[in-house]
Amino acid sequence: MDNHGQRSRNEASGPGIIWAPWRIQYVAAAERTEGCIFCEKPSQERDRDNLIILRGEHAFAILNRFPYNNGHLMVVPYRHTADFGSITPEEAAEMTDMLQRCQRATDELMHAHGYNIGLNLGSAAGAGIGDHLHYHLVPRWNGDTNFMAVTSNTRVISEALDETWERLSARLNGR
């Protein structure tokens, strides 16, 4: 401390500030969102804007707008439900097929070393949107937990979402 009780530049003062102005979209939307984005987005038929990369009869795949890693996507049933036990065999089969197709496409395009694939049920389990269940597929690379995440609680996403959408959507839809 200096003579005025202020921390000097040389003293540890906890985590520094890293500006991430793009996060304001997430914060602002979380405060005012009514309804369910997983119901609204596929009904709008603006797949590129809404980051929907694949559609099926019972489910769709959508890139996470606030990803943990490049290629982080979600597979979601069209039917609004938070109850895993209510998933029909048709929904389950199509979601599994989509997860497999998305993983193969990500392997081919991004050469991931591994994946986190899972489902969080309820806010206590970490579900950001607890009232509409969805699977996450998060590509992982050796060393992707680097100094940025460890020292500054910041992730580096190296490809723009619209570029990821273009590549994955083209591969998954045969374009």
Residue 5 lies in a domain: no
CATH number of the domain to which 83 belongs = 3.30.428.10
Is 12 among the domain residues?
Answer: no
List phi, psi (to 5°) of 55. -120, 145
- Domain-embedded: residue 33: no
31 part of a folded domain: no
Backbone angles phi, psi at 30, to 5 degrees: -65, -30
Q: Is residue 10 domain-resident? A: no
Does 20 fall in a domain? no
Domain of residue 105 covers 38-172
Instruction: Please give the tally of structural domains in the chain.
Output: 1
In a domain, 11, yes or no: no
Give the active site residues.
134
Q: Is the pTM of this model over 0.85?
A: no
Residue 22 belongs to some domain of the structure:
no
Residue 61 bridge partners (DSSP): 54, 75
List per-residue pLDDT tens for the chain, 175 residues long.
444 444 434 444 555 555 566 666 655 655 555 789 999 999 998 999 999 999 999 999 999 998 888 899 999 999 999 999 999 999 999 999 999 999 999 999 999 999 999 998 888 887 788 899 999 999 998 876 655 554 555 666 778 889 999 999 999 999 7
